[in-house]
Amino acid sequence: MLKIGLTGGIASGKTTVSDHFSRLGVPVVDTDLISRELVQPGQPALGQIADRLGEEFILPDGHLDRPALRRHVFSRPEARRILEDILHPAIRRETERRLKEITGIPYALVVIPLLVEKRLQDMVDRILVVDIPEELQIRRLCQRDGISSTEAERILQAQANRQQRLKAADDIIDNTGDPASLPARVHTLHDYYLSLATGGN
């Protein structure tokens, strides 16, 4: 199974792009989704978070208080490391498990938003970066999430920059232009990945 890691900054268009691959029948494993599922009530990772970081991050209804935990680890590298030590191995295991279950197609897309930041290159065979200029990223982020440009800039600051991501890329989707141009670009990459996965070129 050829694993294509899809990454890109926030609001660069990862979901939009992965939806196009999905429409072509490509299995998509979304590590963001997995990380949310792993902290649902009853999951072992949630218990570990409570044990190691504090019961106060569990809401009375048993769910994780995500905003409180995010604020807590934001300025505490040690707490962040503990959280990552709990979540990263579990995310890897679950991603591998889902990839193993896939049959009938020789490649899959693994969406890893923080692939570059967290140095998760080894999880995949190839890296596909969705790329847009930072000004456009801020504009789309503000529009999508209804936040101020100051807040959007703050979020971007905490992520890898465009150059760092492009340096890690094997393939790039330029998502600057009309979204109508995406299906053709995705189709070309799809054919390419199929040929790579089946040993052609």
Q: How far is the CB of 70 from ligand ADP (least distance, A)?
A: 17
Residues between 142 and 171 with contacts to ligand ADP, criterion CB under 6 A: 144
Distances (CA, A) of 87 to 31, 32, 36, 38: 11, 11, 10, 8
Residues between 89 and 148 with contacts to ligand ADP, criterion CB under 6 A: 140, 144
Q: Which of 31, 95, 159, 175 binds ligand ADP (CB under 6 A)?
A: 175
Task: Transcribe 114-141 into DSSP letters.
Answer: TTTTTT-GGG-SEEEEEE--HHHHHHHH
Contact between 20 and ligand ADP per CB under 6 A: no
Q: How far apart are CA 62 and CA 7, in angstroms?
A: 31
Neighbours of 109 (CB within 10 A): 24
Q: How far is the CB of 11 from ligand ADP (least distance, A)?
A: 4
Neighbours of 106 (CB within 10 A): 14
Q: Which of 4, 5, 12, 49 binds ligand ADP (CB under 6 A)?
A: 12
Between 14 and 162, whose beta carbon lies closer to ligand ADP?
14
Contact between 10 and ligand ADP per CB under 6 A: yes
Between 47 and 153, whose beta carbon lies closer to ligand ADP?
153
Q: How far is the CB of 154 from ligand ADP (least distance, A)?
A: 16
Stretch that binds ligand ADP, among 3-11, 21-29, 38-46, 48-56 (CB under 6 A): 3-11
Q: How far apart are CA 153 and CA 11, in angstroms?
A: 12
Q: Where are the beta strands (DSSP E) in the chain?
A: 2-7, 28-30, 107-111, 126-131, 171-174
Between 95 and 137, whose beta carbon lies closer to ligand ADP?
137
Exposed (0-12), middle (13-18) or buried (19+): which is 120, by Cβ within 10 Å?
buried
Residues 6+ apart with CB under 8 A from 52: 82, 86
Q: How far is the CB of 17 from ligand ADP (least distance, A)?
A: 7
Contact between 35 and ligand ADP per CB under 6 A: no
Q: Which two tokens stand for residue 53?
A: 């970081």
Give contact residues for ligand ADP (rule: CB under 6 A): 8, 10-16, 140, 144, 175, 179
